[in-house]
């Protein structure tokens, strides 16, 4: 199955190939429900989010309890003692974890989402047999170590080295930074330069290693952080750490590709965490605004509060649809899902930031105190837009990847106009997706948006060529168009499936949310199109250069 988002850039949308919406079947849902129910009971009794924030630590008994529930083995195959959850099941557990506590969700994700993923994807049978059973039980806790003091978004600039010794093993030297779970992880997936294995394409040779704490790496001091204070975040120091050749994961020099694939697969998990936290915040805000009275009535009856409640619900509904359309397609065999997962991560993290901001505003002064969860969750939410690829880097990645097929087609003389655009001019062109009559307007908006993206992408390639990767404002606008379209498509596919299964009367709530979410997304898409046609980019960039020269604002004038 090809990437649906890549096809949107060239004006193609085959909704039939994506339908029906990938809900869980009864067997998968039964297993998931049992796990979530047990987790809910455990969380109610043992997880105290305020205390974790206050103490800057997830208690050992909580970690042990998660291990007993099997949460460290969610992604581990059954033959190695795990639960073998698929992507949709796994992300749904992450939704729940984030409702209970952000640092607990991050601890779990640091282990299962990225910590063991390279081993699952590229580990040898021997490596899996050696480590997965102990990782599944929680005897070993995992972490992922890519970032360095001088290598954040530019992962290829890392300086940690792994050089061969006389026995053919590797000696690691260097420092890793901001490592989640790094204070207690027993097994770390580490990426290092391997000068003894030069690549033929001239790129830096980076390889992937499984490094045990017993091999000698040292955890640095816990970072003092704005939020997610209960999450362990430390530097890791490697000084002459000897790693057996048997712990090399994949082929020598293939580490950068492995790291990217691990991160690509992990981004839906982070988006799911944002969905869980956002759902909890909306519930708390709905309760608060129903009870808090001003001017003789609940503040939830005032329009400017209702506006916030509605947009929180609409954006979270869109996020729900996007995440589980993406994971469902991954479970069906969509291997090329980097763009879909990246858009889920960007939309999810920014949606949560908007939701928590609105929640604090609705709570007023109480939202700024530690008596309520809002201020803690606001602090916890901010890092998500930095985690697992900054949103800026991901926007550029989505656009430049999507534009490759556009450039090839234009070079071959294929026009950029999709058939969907013809419906705007009154031609007889079918809507791209079969939806209930109540959503036909929204399906039309989607078809127009696909055509707009195709034209915008073709124009960007024609104007900028390969230099478009440096036109980051253009890339961001194109990515935002694609993100809005992916959201509209996900919402419409789910609504159509729900109505087909339940009927329009029973699905009234679904249709209401779908209509609101699609119209918000369609406006976002149109705004992005307009920003490419009418903007102040030149003045903006000129001002930025001046600010760097001034070192801030120029001096005051008396």
Q: Any idea which residues carry the catalytic annotation? A: 388
Q: What is the DSSP letter of 142?
A: E
- Non-local (6+) Cβ contacts of 389 within 8 A are 153, 263, 267, 342, 345, 397
> Does residue 212 sit in helix, strand or coil?
strand
Q: Are strands 206-212 and 187-193 parallel, antiparallel or unpaired?
A: antiparallel
**Two tokens, residue 62:** 């909580």
Q: Partners of 171 in the beta sheet? A: 163, 242
* CA 508 to centroid of chain Cα atoms: 30
For residue 250, is the peptide bond before it cis, meaning its omega torsion is within 30 degrees of 0? no
Report how far residue 260's alpha carbon sits from residue 182's, in angstroms, rounded to the nearest whole number: 20
Q: What is the DSSP letter of 420?
A: G
Structural contact between residues 203 and 156, judged by C-beta atoms closer than 8 angstroms: yes
For residues 232-266, one letter each, b for 16 or more C-beta atoms within 10 angstroms of the residue's C-beta and e for the rest, the string is: bbbbbebeebebeeebbbbebbbbbebbebbbbbb
Neighbours of 508 (CB within 10 A): 13
Q: Of 344, 353, 351, 362, which is closest to residue 380 (Cα–Cα)?
A: 353
Q: Are strands 206-212 and 248-249 parallel, antiparallel or unpaired?
A: antiparallel
Q: Of 363, 347, 366, 378, which is closest to residue 309 (Cα–Cα)?
A: 363
Neighbours of 539 (CB within 10 A): 9
**HSE-up (13 A, CA, CB side) for residue 287:** 8
Q: Partners of 239 in the beta sheet? A: 173
């Amino acid at each position: 199955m090809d990437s649906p988002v890549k096809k949107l850039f060239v004006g193609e949308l085959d909704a039939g190939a994506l339908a029906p919406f990938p809900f869980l079947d009864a067997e998968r849902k039964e297993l998931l429900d049992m796990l979530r129910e047990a987790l809910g009971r455990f969380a109610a009794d043992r997880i105290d989010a305020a205390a974790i924030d206050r103490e800057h630590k997830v208690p050992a008994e909580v970690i042990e309890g998660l291990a007993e529930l099997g949460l460290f083995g969610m992604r581990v195959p059954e033959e190695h003692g795990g639960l073998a959850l698929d992507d949709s099941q796994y992300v749904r557990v992450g939704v729940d974890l984030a409702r209970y506590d952000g640092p607990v969700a991050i601890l779990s994700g640091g282990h299962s989402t990225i910590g063991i993923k390279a081993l699952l994807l590229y580990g040898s049978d021997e490596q899996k047999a050696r480590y997965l059973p102990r990782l599944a039980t929680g005897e070993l806790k995992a972490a992922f170590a890519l970032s360095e003091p001088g290598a954040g978004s530019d992962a290829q600039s890392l300086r940690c080295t792994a050089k061969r010794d006389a026995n053919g093993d590797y000696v690691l030297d260097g420092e890793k930074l901001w490592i989640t779970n790094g204070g207690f992880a027993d097994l770390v997936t580490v990426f290092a330069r391997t000068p003894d294995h030069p690549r033929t394409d001239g790129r830096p040779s980076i390889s992937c290693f499984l490094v045990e704490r017993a091999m000698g790496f040292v955890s640095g001091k816990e970072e003092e952080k704005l939020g997610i204070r209960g999450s362990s975040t430390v530097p890791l120091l490697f000084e002459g750490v000897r790693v057996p050749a048997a712990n090399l994961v994949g082929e020598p020099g293939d580490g950068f590709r492995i790291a990217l694939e691990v991160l690509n697969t992990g981004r839906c998990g982070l988006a799911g965490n944002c969905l869980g936290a956002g759902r909890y915040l909306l519930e708390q805000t709905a309760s608060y605004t129903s009870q808090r009275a001003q001017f003789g009535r609940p503040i939830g009856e005032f329009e400017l509060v209702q506006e916030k409640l509605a947009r929180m619900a609409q954006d979270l509904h869109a996020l729900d649809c996007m995440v589980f359309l993406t994971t469902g397609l991954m479970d069906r065999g969509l291997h090329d899902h980097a763009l879909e997962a990246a858009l889920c991560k960007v939309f999810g993290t920014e949606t949560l930031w908007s939701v928590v901001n609105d929640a604090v505003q609705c709570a007023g002064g109480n939202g700024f105190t530690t008596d309520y969860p809002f201020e803690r969750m606001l602090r916890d939410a901010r890092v998500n837009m930095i985690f697992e690829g900054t949103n800026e880097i991901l926007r550029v990645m989505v656009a430049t990847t999507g534009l490759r097929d556009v450039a090839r087609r234009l070079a071959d003389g294929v026009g950029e106009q999709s058939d969907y655009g013809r419906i705007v001019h009154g031609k007889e062109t079918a809507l791209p997706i079969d939806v209930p009559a109540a959503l036909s307007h929204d399906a039309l908006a989607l078809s127009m948006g696909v055509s707009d993206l195709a034209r915008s992408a073709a124009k960007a390639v024609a104007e900028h060529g390969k230099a478009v990767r440096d036109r980051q404002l253009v890339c961001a606008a194109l990515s935002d168009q694609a993100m809005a379209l992916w959201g509209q498509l996900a919402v419409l596919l789910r609504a159509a499936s729900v109505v087909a299964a339940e009927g329009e009367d029973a699905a009234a709530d679904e249709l209401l949310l779908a209509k609101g979410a699609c119209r918000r997304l369609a406006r976002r898409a149109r705004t992005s199109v307009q920003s490419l046609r009418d903007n102040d980019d030149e003045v903006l960039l000129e001002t930025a250069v001046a600010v760097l020269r001034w070192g801030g604002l120029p001096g005051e004038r008396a």
